[in-house]
Amino acid sequence: MKPKILFWIDTNYTQFGIAKFLQEKTDANFYAIYDFHHHIKNIFLDQSIVDFKKQWFYWDNHLRLDKNFDLSYLKSFEIKYKIDLWKIISSERLFSDYDSYHFFNNEEILSIVEKDCRFFETVLDEIKPDFLIIKLADFLRTHLLVELCKSKGIKVLMLIQNRLGYLVNISSSISELHDFKKIQLDSKNNSPTFLELRNYLQKYDKQKQFQNLKSGDIGVPLIDKVKTFFDWFFNTFDDEYRQTYDHTGVTRFNVITKRIDNMLITRKRKSFIDNHSIMNINFGEKFIYFPLHVQPERNLDLDAPYFKNQLDVIENIARSLPINYKLYVKEHFSMKYRKWRPLSFYKALLSLPNVRFLHPSFDSLTAIKNSSLVITIAGSSGLEAAFYEKPSIIFADLSYSNLSCVTKVENIEDLHELIKNSLKIQVDPFELFQFIKFQENNSIPFDEIELNNSILDNFHSSGLVPDSKISIKNLNSFFENRRKSFEPLINEYIKKIFN
């Protein structure tokens, strides 16, 4: 019997490319849910590149925001599928106060969630898919669909970026990746030195890879910004565009005023950072290093939701330090795309007597090399620390959680003892080598960042806004030109589906 595969396709279009290449190599029934605004809806519904047996447009389910919901249905949904709805809801950045145009109240949120629950139930019950192919879930709607599929026994194949750069995994969750099995190598005597291990870190340099990630309008010429803005202003921004909940409260006027406000706020906050952060570390003092996460961010919102208040985490670390240690906190360079953090955050950070605030341009590897311990909530710096013989403390299940030099916080009240004990831990180079080899053997070489940047350049005005028009012919040619780079990825999907 042919396997049934449901694809979630958004404006990144990667999953459409995966469907295109999978169709050529497999005998399966394909279905699709599209997640993009109505201007390109019919273009995809009418395309003939991929033979989808049935297609749905997610936003047809949300053409009007209201406050009507059935609490008894939501309660029964939670019980039936064992899904914690409020935990998922709290991860949705639209419902936070981050740069939003509308404050969603309780009734509106529950109405949105109920529509999603009913829509996904209807689709899954109708086609009964065997697999869901989707990118890493990062919004309420995708996370809810993933959790519902898992509860129904539908195998989820998420495309997940590895903690090592330029590699990806196909898995149902990030937490599955942390349980690495130590592979059998020829001999422990052949274990590489840390200097040799750092060559792997250079080969799979995730920081270097992510520094190339395009976001917002950084680096876009002014003339292109103006042209794109006017096209959005007069063509994209119509009545149907404004009906979906992700555009609630958006008007032409407040978009202009908010962009001006954000520009002024960004400059003011950057000036404060420049004047109050340090550009050097004191090599004569012992310190523990804590790199801030970008926020909002999936790593915090979904992988470590109870530790997403980073200021609270920093305060707990500061009060748990041994008396002869300082805490060096570094701002993330990518916060420039999100107008930095409120000044109140930085002022509270600076008020802590045993905390030093590092400038975002400071080299993070220099901080890691000279630290005694690295603490990260859910970032890759804990893994990078091991390459420089530094232990780490984390707050979530990560792909490198099972390394013996990594300690996960289970109870915040134990933090003082965890820090003291972690400072004594020695990194085992052979174990780290096993981890690297396991990742190499169980990952796919694929530069998702380069692909993302190319999609933004070709189809989304270099990342300014999703284009209101798209040529399926051009999209097909785009993926054809990347056929060779997709081949290892498609082969891995085939293994997951048919083995």
Per-residue model confidence (pLDDT) at position 226: 64
Question: What domains can you pick out in the chain, each with its CATH number?
Answer: 4-178+445-498 (no CATH), 251-441 (3.40.50.2000)
Q: What is the pLDDT of residue 42?
A: 86
118-155 pLDDT tens trace:
999 999 999 999 999 999 998 999 999 999 999 999 99
pLDDT of residue 216: 57
pLDDT at 403 exceeding the cut of 60 = yes
3-class DSSP assignment, residue 366: helix
The residue count for the chain: 499
Judged by average pLDDT, the poorest of 193-207, 241-255, 287-301, 353-367 is: 241-255
What is the 8-class DSSP label of residue 341? -
User: Averaged over 176-180, what is the pLDDT?
Assistant: 62
**Which 3 state secondary structure label does DSSP give 407?**
strand
Confidence at residue 278, expressed as pLDDT on a 0 to 100 scale:
97
The larger pLDDT score, comparing residue 99 to residue 13, is at 13
The model's confidence at residue 184, banded by pLDDT at 50, 70 and 90, is: low
pLDDT for position 171: 92
Alpha helices for 322-469 (secondary structure H): 343-350, 364-370, 381-387, 415-422, 429-441, 448-459
Token pair in block for residue 161: 């970026």
Answer whether residue 106 shows pLDDT above 90.
yes
pLDDT value at residue 268: 97
CA distance from start to end of the chain = 14
With bands split at pLDDT 50, 70 and 90, how would you rate the model's confidence at 252? confident
H or E segment to which residue 202 belongs = helix 194-203
Residue 376 pLDDT > 70, yes or no? yes
pLDDT at 100: 77
Q: How much is the pTM?
A: 0.92
d(C-alpha 243, C-alpha 21), whole Å: 34
Judged against a pLDDT cut of 70, whether residue 105 lies above it is answered with yes
Contact 497, 28 (CB under 8 A): yes
Which one-letter DSSP state was computed for residue 235?
A: I
3-class SS at 431?
A: helix
Phi, psi of 160, rounded to the nearest 5 degrees: -120, 130
The pLDDT > 70 percentage for the chain reads 90
The backbone region for 362, taken as left when phi is positive above 0, alpha when psi lies in -120 to 50, beta otherwise, is beta
pLDDT digit string, tens, across residues 274-313: 999 999 999 899 999 999 999 988 888 888 989 999 999 9
- Cβ-Cβ contacts under 8 Å for 100 (sequence gap 6 or more): 94, 249
Confidence of residue 219 (pLDDT cuts 50, 70, 90): low
Using CA atoms, how far residue 226 sits from 218, 229, 341, 461, in Å, is 14, 5, 27, 11
Q: Which of 14, 6, 3 is nearest to 135 (CA)?
A: 14
Question: Does 80 or 94 have the greater pLDDT score?
Answer: 80
pLDDT at 224: 64
Percent of the chain with pLDDT over 90: 70
Distance in angstroms (rounded) separating the CA atoms of residues 327 and 193: 29
Give the tens place of pLDDT for each residue, 449-491.
Answer: 999 989 988 887 655 566 667 899 999 999 999 999 999 999 9
Contact 236, 55 (CB under 8 A): no
